[in-house]
Chain A
Amino acid sequence: MGQNSILIVEDEHTLRRLLEYRLSKQYDVRTASNGEEALARIEERAPDMIISDIMMPKMDGFALQNAVQSKKETSAIPFIFLTAKADEQSRTKGLRTGVDDYITKPFDIEQLLKRVDRLLERTKQFKSQLDARISQDFSQRLIPKNLPNVDDYRILFRNAPKEDGGGDLFDWIEVGDGTYLFTIGDVMGKGLQAKFYAFSFFGYVRSTIHAMLPTTTSPAKLMARVNQALIDDSTMEETFASLLLIKWEPASNTITYVNAGHCRPVIIGPDSSSVVEHSDLILGLDHETDFKDTVIELKENMSFVAYTDGLSEQVLSGGKMVGEQGILDHASRVAGKDDPIDELLTSILSSSGTPEFADDILVFWLQRTGLNWFAPFANAG
């Protein structure tokens, strides 16, 4: 958390030094002795707050405030007027649009500090509310509203983004006749910045897939291209992401998948369950990363379950994390249920003794039902 920066604009030397001395104990303080100088300081770097005198040579406080107000980049900076003019007229003039407080000289420095503190706190709150709204909007856009519908298969999906969580993403497209490509990813970092990167990264993944589909549907080849694009683009150099690309061909009951440093999915069968072993390096680190496709045949009643680290890193009541083995155990137990994801989440939460997950969670559950022979009985019942 950086220190708040304050610009003090005051022509009287002693007062300027006094304010600088007192405020710099808590804030990053810069000073100017008139409006013109102040504008130059603001140009160098916009402060979090401006405290300005009104009567000054060259450019007075009103003119400074007008200039600050008229520029989009600076109009939101909290502005406090300090003035010796205690008369009502000036006060009214001072309390105009964009002036947040008005303090009359001589003033009590403690009083001023309190007001500064309160105003900065209020600005911070306002900003965090705005961030939460933007973040909510990003989160919603990172997740599609529907899922493919294919006979003999059941596809379930659940996600719960946190306001201050990172950037989980999920997407799917039909890439050809009855073939689907699922994307599950997690962009490193937290908060709005991670969400923003996730959003840009999402665009990358989509456009790369679209551009390459005529040539290949190999998840490994697509992954290598996404990685290359991520590394070549300097605007994305702070973006590191784990990603699963899953090609699903229901006609042949196969999944071809590639894993770039993402939590390893699990296969839950009627008789046994296992972790999908192979996985490659996370995206954005090394342009020479070698990605390899893994083919999985889905037998009847088998499920392929992918998730993000919010699930496996949930801390259990004993202090340990759920981990891969934990996911495997919990998922095996709930596999036959009507809503296995719901049961899985409930089951993990009850072992962790908390009402909700600490981080974003995302679960994707693909199950080959193959229970057609049973259907007549079900209908008869």
Chain B
Amino acid sequence: MQVTTTSFKVEPSNQDTVIVRIGKALDFRNAAEFKSTCQTQVRSGARNFVLDFSETGILDSTGLGSIFSLYRQVSPLEGQVVFASVSRPVQVVVQLTRTYKVFRQFPSVDSALETFE
């Protein structure tokens, strides 16, 4: 089943991997919603998260913080959070915080999914 919230589309890929389409922005306005969307997924068994940033123009520190929360939630469960189709504005934030050391990046959602097959 496809779950649609106002800004995040979640698509299950396999038993423990989901794709989260980040819309135009992940920032202080919708970070709480992102968190609860992901928490629901973790509770129903998702471990690996592919975040699709192809349309994202804004990622602020509150938004990034919500991704960090997700990372801290799934890493003890041996899950991963990876970034796909990283847009230029997102790339800038990732560079600044050196978080590319933690979140692997892939050119597309498909290539990211291959690692979880």
Q: Which residues of A contact B (CB under 8 A)?
A: 166, 186, 188-191, 194, 237-238, 240, 242, 261, 263-264, 279-282, 284-286, 289, 309, 321, 323
Residue of B nearest to A324 (CB): B96
Which residues of chain B have C-beta atoms less than 8 A from A238's C-beta?
65, 69
Which residues of chain B come closer than 8 Å to A261, judged between CB atoms?
96-99
Q: Is the CB of A279 within 8 A of B98?
A: yes
Give the complex CA separation of A243 and B28 in angstroms: 21
Contact of A281 with B61 in the complex, beta carbons under 8 Å: no
B62 near A282: Cβ-Cβ < 8 Å = no
Q: Known A189-B65, A240-B68; judge A281-B28 contact (CB<8 A).
A: no
Once the chains are docked, how many angstroms separate the CA of A261 from the CA of B95? 9
Rounded to whole Å, the gap between the CB of B104 and the closest CB of chain A is: 13
Q: Are B62 and A188 in contact (CB under 8 A)?
A: yes
Who on chain B is nearest to A321 by CB? B92
Known interface pairs A188-B61, A190-B28, A309-B61; A282-B72 also in contact (CB < 8 Å): no
7 contacts between A and B (CB under 8 A): A188-B68, A191-B28, A240-B65, A261-B99, A263-B96, A282-B98, A321-B92
Q: Is A285's CB under 8 angstroms from B68's CB?
A: yes
* B residues less than 8 Å from A189 (CB atoms): 28, 31, 61-62, 65
Inter-subunit contact A282/B97 (CB<8 Å): yes
Interface 0/1 of B63-83, CB less than 8 Å to A: 011001101100000000000
B99 touches A166 (CB 8 A): no
- Number of B residues, CB within 8 Å of A: 18
Which residues of chain A come closer than 8 Å to B98, judged between CB atoms?
261, 279-282
B65 contacts A237, CB within 8 Å? no
Interface centre among B31, B69, B71, B101 (most CB of A within 10 A): B101
Contacts of B71 in A (CB 8 A): 285
Compute how far the CA of A281 lies from the CA of B31 in the bound complex, rounded to whole angstroms: 21
Per the bound structure, the CA–CA distance linking A289 and B82 in Å amounts to: 18
Consensus secondary structure, chain A interface = loop
Considering the complex, give the chain B residue whose CB is closest to the CB of A231: B72
Q: In the complex, what's the smallest C-beta–C-beta distance from B42 to chain A, in angstroms?
A: 14
Determine which of B28, B61, B102 lies in contact with A285 in the assembled complex, contact meaning CB atoms within 8 Å.
B102
Within the complex, the shortest CB–CB distance from A361 to chain B, in Å, comes to: 14
The residue on B at minimum CB distance from A2 is B32
Complex Cα spacing A274 to B101, Å: 24
Q: Enumerate chain B residues within 8 angstroms of A166, measured Cβ to Cβ.
A: 61-62
Which chain A positions have C-beta within 8 A of B69? 237-238
B64 to chain A, nearest CB (A): 6
The 8 closest A-B pairs by CB, nearest first: A188-B65, A261-B97, A188-B61, A190-B28, A282-B97, A281-B98, A189-B62, A240-B68
A323 CA / B64 CA spacing, docked (Å) = 18
Shortest CB distance B65–A (Å): 4
- Give the one of A238, A280, A321 with max B CB within 10 A: A238
Known: A281-B101, A281-B102. A309 touches B96 (CB 8 A): yes
Do A281 and B65 contact each other (CB < 8 Å), given the known contacts A190-B28, A191-B28, A237-B72? no
> Which of A190, A264, A280, A285 interacts with B62 by CB under 8 Å?
A190
Residues in B neighbouring A284, C-beta threshold 8 A = 68, 72
Nearest CB in chain B: distance from A22 CB, A: 25
Contacts of A285 on B, CB cut-off 8 Å? 68, 71-72, 99, 102
CB of B34 to closest CB in A, whole Å: 13
Residues of A within 8 A of B65 (CB): 188-189, 238, 240
What is the CA–CA distance of A289 and B72 in the complex, to the nearest angstrom?
A: 14
- Please, which residues of chain A bring their CB within 8 A of the CB of B96? 261, 263-264, 309
Residues of B within 8 A of A188 (CB): 61-62, 64-65, 68
Collect the chain B residues with CB atoms within 8 Å of residue A186's CB: 61
CA distance A282 to B65 in the complex (A): 11
State the Cβ distance, A198 to closest chain B Cβ, in Å.
Answer: 12
Q: A237-B72, A238-B65 are in contact. Are A282 and B99 (CB under 8 A)?
A: yes
Residues of A within 8 A of B72 (CB): 237, 284-285
Q: Could you tell me the distance between the alpha carbons of A190 and B61 in the complex, rounded to whole angstroms?
A: 8
In the assembled complex, how far is the CB of residue A75 from the closest CB belonging to chain B, in whole angstroms?
27
Please indicate the chain B residues that have their CB under 8 angstroms from the CB of A280 in the complex: 98
Q: How far is the CB of A124 from chain B (nearest CB, A)?
A: 17
Bound CA–CA A280/B101 (angstroms): 9
Q: How far is the CA of A281 from the CA of B103 in the complex (A)?
A: 11
Q: B92 to nearest A CB, angstroms? A: 8
